[in-house]
Structure 1
Amino acid sequence: MSSEKRLDAFRKLPLRAQLALIASTRNNPILSKNQEYIENLERIHAECLSESTPEQKAAYNKSKGDLTSS
């Protein structure tokens, strides 16, 4: 699968799944070496977050707190 197709599929994921994928990519010894890919994931995630509804943002912020507080 091309990088472009992976990024397009990533864009369709829920915000929480995007956040989890970014974290797992950063923690993967092989994938973490591809800084451009990680930056693209983060850019798309920021775009999706800015376009989300207040309800989606609230659920995301709650889950983000759950993920980072463990």
Structure 2
Amino acid sequence: MSSFEKRLAVFRKIPLRAQLATITSSKANSILNQNQDYIASLEQIHAECLANATPEEKLAYNKAKEFLITDY
């Protein structure tokens, strides 16, 4: 398994709020933001995890989302 695949596997296991924070910070990082495939992979995994989340996980996620998503 490549380093990239390992990072995505670990990303899949972290809570939705941490996933969102990782995506947000990756987009804000000038180096990571250059790798659009990486960002797209994170967003795809996040969407899959969100679709499979429990109602309680979605509630906590939506509360956190208000604080993490900002327009730059």
TM range (shorter): over 0.9
Shift of 1:65: 1.2
Superposition misfits of 4+ residues, deviation over 4 angstroms = none
Shift of 1:17: 0.3
Gaps of 5+ in 1: none
Instruction: Give the corresponding residue for 2:25.
Output: 24
Q: Which residue identity does 1:56 align to in structure 2?
A: E
Instruction: Give the corresponding residue for 2:65.
Output: 64
TM-score by length of 2: 0.90
Q: How many residues align?
A: 69
Gaps of 5+ in 2: none
Instruction: Give the corresponding residue for 1:48.
Output: 49
TM-score by length of 1: 0.92
The CA RMSD measured in Å over matched residues stands at: 1.3
Residues 24 and 68 in structure 2, CA contact (< 8 A), matched pair in contact too: no
- Aligned-residue sequence identity (percent) comes to 61
